């Protein structure tokens, strides 16, 4: 979904040449109709669209139970724009201009790691997370999280009981091409543990030495 016709057509031509079948929509309303009607492998979504904003398109898809991987490709490069998009269910975020090589690689990565259907509200042990409403509860008590904390917990709750590496977390919660200090993951895990621990006395995020982290599925 892209309102810049020449850019959209150039991207379509490049993807077709790489073996993708592509439908184009030049406004959010039409794009949403297509996304609800067809089981696409991935969606490329702009943020600033006529008729319906990219945020609203993604929010509506997730509330409708459509979990097609979404790559947001937009000129807006603010960190809060990226955090809001990830919180709403976007799977990857690239800013324009991005090279076709990077867009193509990101799409392929999304298709490879496409998950099974994800429920509208996630529940793991004492935790409940609503991605669309940006709400988290611990044993029924509301918990306030910053955008990156929310995105990290969301990622872990989509993989309950599964050991996930620090590099996987960086690629999915920060950015596939993140070049900052990888220890940022430890910092945010610590934030989550402290906030969850204010209600839940045991640690629900386990450290798996030499591997990464795992979200406990035990009710306890």
Give the domain ranges of the chain: 5-112, 122-215
Class of domain 5-112: alpha beta
Each residue of 60-102: pLDDT tens digit? 888 887 888 899 988 887 887 788 788 778 888 888 888 899 9
**What is the pLDDT, as a whole number, of residue 111?**
81
What is the percent of the chain where pLDDT is above 90?
22
Q: What is the mean pLDDT of residues 115-141?
A: 80
Does the pLDDT of residue 176 top 80, yes or no? no
pTM of the model: 0.54
Residue 169 in contact with residue 185, Cβ under 8 Å?
Answer: yes
Q: Are 28 and 78 in contact (CB under 8 A)?
A: no
Residue 188 has pLDDT above 80, yes or no: yes
Angle formed by the axes of helices 5-17 and 100-112, to 10°? 60
Say what the pLDDT of residue 82 is.
Answer: 81
Q: Is 80 exceeded by the pLDDT of residue 57?
A: yes
Nearby residues of 170 by Cβ (< 8 Å), 6 or more positions away: 178, 182, 184, 185
C-alpha distances in Å from residue 76, one per residue of 46, 79, 85, 90: 9, 9, 11, 14
- Choose among 119, 9, 132: nearest CA to 65: 119
Using DSSP's 3-state secondary structure scheme, residue 208 falls into strand
Residue 172: predicted pLDDT: 74
Q: Which residues contact 22 (CB under 8 A, 6 or more apart)?
A: 12, 15, 16
CATH topology of domain 122-215: Arc Repressor Mutant, subunit A (1.10.10)
């Amino acid at each position: 979904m892209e309102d810049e016709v020449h850019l959209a057509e150039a991207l379509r031509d490049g993807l077709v040449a790489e073996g993708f079948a592509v439908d184009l929509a030049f406004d959010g309303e039409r794009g949403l109709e297509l996304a609800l009607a067809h089981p696409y492998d991935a969606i490329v979504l702009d943020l600033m669209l006529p008729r319906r904003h990219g945020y609203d398109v993604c929010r509506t898809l997730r509330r409708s139970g459509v979990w097609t991987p979404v790559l947001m490709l937009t000129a807006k490069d603010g960190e809060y724009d990226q955090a809001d998009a990830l919180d709403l269910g976007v799977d990857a975020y690239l800013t324009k201009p991005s090279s076709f090589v990077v867009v193509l690689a990101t799409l392929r990565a999304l298709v490879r790691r496409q998950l099974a259907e994800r429920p509208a509200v996630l529940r793991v042990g004492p935790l409940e997370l609503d991605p669309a409403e940006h709400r988290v509860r611990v044993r029924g008590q509301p918990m306030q999280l910053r955008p990156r904390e929310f995105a990290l917990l969301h990622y872990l709750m989509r993989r309950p009981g599964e050991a996930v590496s620090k590099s996987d977390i960086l690629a999915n919660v920060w950015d596939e091409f993140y070049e900052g200090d990888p220890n940022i993951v430890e910092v945010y895990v610590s934030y989550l543990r402290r906030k969850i621990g204010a209600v839940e006395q045991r640690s629900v995020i386990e450290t798996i030495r030499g591997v990464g982290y795992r979200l406990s599925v035990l009710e306890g």
